[in-house]
Structure 1
Amino acid sequence: MRPDGLHERERFVHLVRLSWDLRCLELASSLVVRPHARPILEVPLPAGKPVHVQAIHRPHGWVFAWRPWWSRTWRRGEWVWALDENAAAKIKTAVGQ
């Protein structure tokens, strides 16, 4: 996979901003940047396994989508617009924190 440089930079910026917003809500997160994969934000849960959050570019803008660690597929309702000022709060609520 060869990432598009502009989109990858935007994806990274969105995830860093979300990480900071989650920090302000007292929720820890870790940005995972692997050599040949899209970056993800891991949000640890008390049960042990993290929730993975991706920044995804859609025709009408960027979204954050998440899923539990055990799910192999992304679910339809588990997303929020990346520029939504309450995105971090919505994700915190959705992951049960």
Structure 2
Amino acid sequence: MKNAKILVAYLTRSGNTRVIAGTLQRALGAGLFEIRPARPYPEDHELHVAQATRERDNSFEPPLAEKVANIAAYDEIYLGFPVWAKPCHRP
């Protein structure tokens, strides 16, 4: 879509998704928005994944620190997020 208003929104745990989102934002000439929960997740990876798993399993949507102002103004939105896996526990 020529002259489309584009937004790249992303959630990151380690910063990797932030790097990719920034690259995409620059290539597209888009706006950039970091999705952050109002209460940050634990820094420890296993605790972070455990909390995210509980929230997913309970259909809990954590409140956000900020929301995109006038999201309807965007023609295209690219969403980036980390892929979390349950820790592998071996006997």
What TM-score, normalized by structure 1, do the two folds share? 0.29
What TM-score, normalized by structure 2, do the two folds share? 0.30
> Which structure carries more strand by proportion?
1
> Looking at both structures, which has the greater relative contact order when contacts are Cα pairs under 8 Å and sequence separation is at least 6?
2
